[in-house]
Structure 1
Amino acid sequence: MSILSNKVALITGSATGLGKRTAIELAKNGIDIVLNYVHSSESAKETSRFISETYGVRSMAIQSDISLLEDVHKLVNHTHSVMGRIDILVHNAGPFIKEMKKMSEYTTEEWNSIINGNLTSVFYLSKEVFPLMRVNKWGRMITIGFDRVETAPAWKFRSAYAAAKCGTASLTKTLAIEEAENGITVNMVCPGDIRNKFKEMNIEDVRGKSDLTNPVGRTGTGEDIARVISFLCNEDSDFITGSIISVTGGKDVLNKHNS
């Protein structure tokens, strides 16, 4: 039996995409899973059933908007009351506006939505979850960024998102230092250019399918990201904290967008 079999993971934004693929990867290791969603109720419940039936772990889905403090409080309290603990927090959720526009074109509402959903929500969740982790002197938190986020690069037409994630990168490093004495590690994983259906795919699904835009010759998948997150959650990964880990296949994602 996995040494992580008594652990509980809360994964935000996990009804579909990278969050869903991460939930599946952690469930393979015997970790109980709490899926969080805002609108995708049916997808979240279907994923929860699949995880429980396939891997024999406990799983449930909870609706919550993590940009709202009251929602975060209810999410964490509900998780703790049912599961009894929270050991792993994967902060995958975060609003993103697909339309490309300059900062001056953003509305105040759009700006606040992106900042609150991607950055302030980390503060909310940390404040609620870390006290539960400290009780057991063990915890893992993983945030999600983008390539070279730790250098605070420019990202044309993505000002709000870039600002929020760069702030999250700094906060990730700070929390890692502050919580180290409590047995809690805090790291950030930065996916490359992984889009649409590829977010839920396995590596084997893209083997032999050429992608000339990536140095390694194939596109990235959700499994590529989930495997790194799973590794960071391992018992023996306790020496890895405050790290920003890019998983891009070597592709320079930002130069394409900033040209």
Structure 2
Amino acid sequence: MEANQTFQAGRDGFLKRNRTALITGSAKGLGVRIAHELAAQGIDIALNYRTSKSDADKLQQELIHQYNVNVLLLQGDVSHPADAEAIIETVASSWGHLDILILNAGPYVKERKKLADYTLEEWDRMIGGNLSSAFYLCKAAIPHMRNQRQGRIVTVGFEKAQTAPGWMYRSAFAAAKTGLVSLTRTIALEEAEYGITANMVCPGDIVGKDKEKHIADVHSLSDPDTPVGRPGTGEDIARAITFFCSEASDFITGTVLEVTGGKDVLNKYKLEREQ
């Protein structure tokens, strides 16, 4: 992690004792809407990014001016153990506490490739970025949450991840996220005595710019492939994550929640092949 790219800012120029949240991979996509949703609750936000510094800078200013919260920018690759630990320790030392950890970062190979066609590098990147990174971050964050006797951990999966399904052309990603389901539920059991909850949100087929949209942006749009009749948005996912992060959600742990609009995402490839 590059220390010279890590800084704190707030409109009032002083550190407030709000609840704090670290969101990994938060400069673009779903991370943007998650950050807005949590900041709207008065939660101070630590934004992690790997290469998208200009997007992170822009989001930082939006959060400060719209919600008057403190915002920390943290550059680093969470699939590297040293970066993951440094990111957690920077949040804890800067604000004195880490209340919420959102594991949003996760690489994805868009090209449809069967298992035998994956390169070793692609496999390592999928497992490292989607599963090992969760171990690194949680290992560093949990001791701080134990000391506080409270904490919220939310991971991001995919539709049906809790059933360990086969997913054509997505073998590495699916294997990593399925493992993450078990890891999330294990953390929920192990850390319950410390007031720490761990839950997973599984988005449906939300892609591209829709990841950063509000629900109001798509209410007038039709999506015949989704049973609820409209496209999904980043706000749909962010609202679910925010629910798990609530202080009043302390009785909800080990849960995997699908937010899909009823769409069968995994089997769309099968349907396409049959048409």
TM-score (norm 2): 0.91
Amino acid at match of 1:254: L
Q: Is the 8 A contact 1:185 1:238 kept in 2?
A: yes
SS in 2 for 1:254: coil
The AA in structure 2 aligned to 1:241 is T
Residue 14 (str. 1) matches residue 11 (str. 2): no
1:204 aligns with 2:216: yes
1:234 equivalent in alignment to 2:246: yes
Quote the offset at 1:96 in angstroms: 0.5
In 1, the alpha carbon distance for the partners of 2:269 and 2:68 equals 42
Question: Residue 153 of structure 1 is aligned with which of 162, 165, 173?
Answer: 165
Whether 1:171 aligns to 2:183 is yes
1:88 to 100, 104, 120: 100
Q: SS state of the match for residue 72, structure 2?
A: strand
- What is the aligned partner in structure 2 of residue 182 from structure 1? 194
Q: Which residue of 1 aligns with 2:174?
A: 162
Q: Shift in Å at residue 134 of structure 1?
A: 0.8
Cα drift, residue 90 of structure 1: 0.3
Task: Report the secondary structure of 2:267's partner residue.
Answer: helix
- Secondary structure of the residue aligned to 2:230 is coil
Give the corresponding residue for 2:134: 122
How big is the shift at 1:74? 1.3
In the TM superposition, residue 258 of structure 1 has moved relative to its aligned partner by 3.8
Q: Which residue identity is paired with 2:137? A: L
Structure 1 partner of 2:70: 58
- What CA distance in whole angstroms lies between the structure 1 residues aligned with 2:224 and 2:85? 45
Q: State, as a whole percentage, how many aligned pairs show the same letter.
A: 54
Does structure 1 residue 142 correspond to structure 2 residue 151?
A: no
Pairs aligned (count): 256
SS at match of 1:9: strand
Q: Show the counterpart of 2:40.
A: 28
Which residue identity lines up with residue 240 of structure 1 in the other structure? I
Cross-structure match for 1:215: 227
Distance of 2:269 and 2:164 partners within structure 1: 15
Q: Which amino acid aligns with 1:89?
A: L
Task: Give the SS at the match of 2:258.
Answer: strand
CA distance in 2, matches of 1:24, 1:212: 29
Conserved? CA contact 1:9–1:89, under 8 Å: yes
Equivalents in 2 of 1:190, 1:31: separation in Å? 23
Equivalent residue of 2:266, what SS? Answer: helix
Which of 250, 253, 257 in structure 2 is aligned with 1:245?
Answer: 257
Cα RMSD between the aligned structures? 1.1
1:28-85 deviation line (CA, Å, top 9, x unaligned): 0000000001010110111011101110000021111000001111111211222221
Output the amino acid matched with 2:84. Answer: V
Deviation string 1:75-134 (CA, Å, 9 cap, x unpaired) is 112112222211100000011111111111111111011101100111100100011111
Structure 1 stretch displaced more, 58-67 or 160-169: 58-67
The residue number in structure 1 matching 2:80 is 68
CA distance in 1, matches of 2:167, 2:266: 7
Q: Partners of 2:87 and 2:248 in 1: how far apart? A: 29
Q: Distance in 2 between matches of 1:37 and 1:58?
A: 17
Distance (Å, rounded) in 2 between the aligned partners of 1:115 and 1:159: 10
Q: What is residue 124 of structure 2 aligned with on the other side? A: 112
The structure-2 alpha-carbon separation of the partners of 1:203 and 1:239, relative to structure 1 and needing over 3 Å to count, comes to same
Given residue 238 of structure 2, which amino acid in structure 1 is its aligned partner?
A
Secondary structure of the structure 2 residue equivalent to 1:253 = coil
* Moved >6 Å (runs of 4+): none
Structure 1 distance, partners of 2:98, 2:226, is 37
